[in-house]
Structure 1
C-alpha cells in the first residue's frame, strides 16, 4: 500500500508538472524569439531617417556601423535598382512586397527576415535584416534546464512527502494487523492503540478492540456455563459412587464403579479444558474466602443427606490469591469430592482457610495409604484427577498426609495475587 500511494503521488505530480512546465517552456521560447525580433527591428528602425533622406555614401557608412555593432546582416535596397548597400543579399519576396511601402516579418531558414519600406523622393527603399536561429533561442536552453531541474526537485519533494504520508497511514494498519494476529493466537489481552490517522482507522481500531472484548465475554460465559454444569454434575456423581459402593455383588460393584470413574474423568477433563481454554483471558486472582464459602455451601446439601458433620473455618475479610476463581472452585470441588467418595457416610470433615492463604481439608475417615499419598491419588480405586486439579490450581504446593488420630489431611498453599 505504501508503494502504491507513493507511485500515485509521483504520477499525479509528474502530470501536474508536465501540464504546467511544458506551456511555460513554450512561452519562454516565444518570449526569446520576440525579444530578438524586437531588438533587430529597433536597430533597423534607427537608420530609417538616414535611408529616407541620405545619399548612398552616407547610407553605406551608417549601414556598415550597424552591421559592425549588431553582428547581423543588414541590406538596403535603393529604388535606383543599383547594387544593395550593406550585406549583399539577393532580393526576396518579402523585399518585393516591402517595396510597395509595407513593413513585415517573415520566417526564413529557421531565422527571421525583417523588412521595412522607406519612402524617398526617388521611390521606396527597403531595409532588410535577418535574425539567425541562434539569436532567436538565446537563453532558452538554460531556462529549460532550470525548469527541468525545478520539476525534478518538486517530484522528489512530492515523493518524500508521499512516503511520509503513506508511512503514517501504513504504520497504524500494520499495528492493527499485528493485533489481529495476536488475537488469532488466543492472546485475548491484545488491544489496538487508537491511531492518529484518518477517522476510518480509528473506527477500525475501536471495532477490533470491541471484538476482542466481545470474544472475552463469550469465552467467560462459556467457561462459566461449562464449569457450572460440571459442578452440578459432581453431586449426583458422588451420590452415584456411594450407591455403587453399596452394591453387594463384587462384579456388579466393580462394573458400576468403573462406569462412575469413567464419567468422573470425563467431567473432570471438561472442567480442566474449560479452565485451560480461558486461562489467558481470565484475571489470575480472586477472593479465596468467597470462593471457598460458595463451594462449601454447595456441598453442604450432600453432606446433610449423607449425615456428615461439617465444620467451616474462614478468616475474616477477603483473602486475595493468585488463582482464578474457577480454578480455585474446581480445586475445592475436587478435594471435597474425594472426601465424599472415599469416606463412609457419617464421616465428619472440616474446611479451613487462614490469612496466609492456606486451605486445609481434613476428614475423620480411614486415611490414605502411603503409596497413595506419594502418588497423590486416593484410596479405594479413585481416579486421582481431583487431587491433580487441586495441585495444578495451587501451582504444585499441595501436601497430603494422615491425621495421627485418623483421617486424611490435604493442605493447599495458594500463591499471592500478581502485582499490577
Structure 2
C-alpha cells in the first residue's frame, strides 16, 4: 500500500521533470537560433553569418543551419514540407526528425524568407533522465521505509491499547473490580479506555450499593428477631438435666431450647451477613413523603407490646396531628425501629423511654429518649460500622442516612430522663422559606463551628456500662 502511494506520487513527478528538461533543451536551441537571426537582421554577408553560427556554440552536428541564402552552414535535417510551412506561417515551429527535433525560425529579408534550423538530439532532450529516475527511486524507497516504520509504531500502539482493554475486561470478568486500563493509542481507543474505567467505577459503586442494601435490609431483620428473642426469654426454663419430667414436658422444654438456639443462630447469621457486605457508599433514594405522626403511631403499636412484656414505662408526645416529611414511609419506619431497637437492646429491662414529635423553624424533630446509661462517645456512635457493644454499628447510621436524605441531621445528647437522647431532624416540606438574614447566618455559622469542634455534645464523664 505504501509502495503504491509512493509510485502514484513519484511517477507523475518524474514525467513532469522530463517535460521540463525537454522544454529547457528547446529553449536553449531558441537562444542559439536567436544569435543567428539577429545577425541576419543586420547583414546577409556570408562571413557575418558564419561568425554568428560559430558563436552560437555547440558541436558541429548541432550548430544552426541557414536555409534560403547562398551560405554554406552545413547540411540540415528538416523536411522540405516543414521548411515550407515555417516560411508560409512565418512563425517558429518544432518538428521531429531522426535522432531528435529541430527548431525552425523564419527570418524575412525583403522579398525572401530565410529559415534558421537548430537541431536538438534526443540525448539533450532526455539529459539527466537516468539520474533523475535513480534519485526518485531512492526517494520512493526512503518514503516507503519511513511509512513502514510509522505504520509499525502506530500499529504497535493500537495493538498495545487493544491488548490492555482485553486484559482489563478479562480481569473484570474474573472478579478483579480494581482493574483499570491506561488510556492510550489512537483517540478512539483512548476514549474507549476512559469509558472502560468509568464503567468499572460504576460497577464498583453498584456492587457496593448492592452490598450496602443487603446490610441495611439484614439490619432491619433485627427488629423481629429482637421480638422473638424477648418472647423466647419469657418462656419457661428449658433445662432437662435436673428433675423428673413427663414425655410431654420433655418435648416442650426441648422445643423451647430449639427455639432459643434457632434465634441465636439466626442472629449470628444476620451479624455475619451485615459485616461481610458492609460498604461505605452514598444511597440516593427517590423523592417521597410520608406522615411522621402516622409512622410513629404505627411503630409504637409494635414496640408497646414488647415494652409491656419488659415492664418498660413509655410515652408518646405530639403524634396526634399530620406532620409531613420528605422521606419514604418504609425508610422512616426503618430509621425509627433502629433507634428504638437500640433502647431495647442496650438498656436493662424496666428502663423507661419516650418518643416525641415536634414541628417548628422549618424542621420536623423526632426525639427518642431513654433512662438508660447513655452513650459515652456520640460522635463515634454516629460513625458507620462502629460499635463498642459488639454489634454491626449500623443502627444509628441508618437513622443518619434517612435524615440526610431529608436534608436534616441526627444528634445525640443527654436525655431529660437521664440516658441518651437521639434527635432526628427532617426538613419540613411545607415550611415557608425565610429571608436570609446576614446576622442570623453569621450566628448559625458560629454555632455550626462549635458543633464541629465537639464542644456541645461531650458529656462531663461517662457512666459504667455505657454503650
- TM-score normalised by the chain length of structure 1: 0.49
User: Which structure features the higher share of helix residues?
Assistant: 1
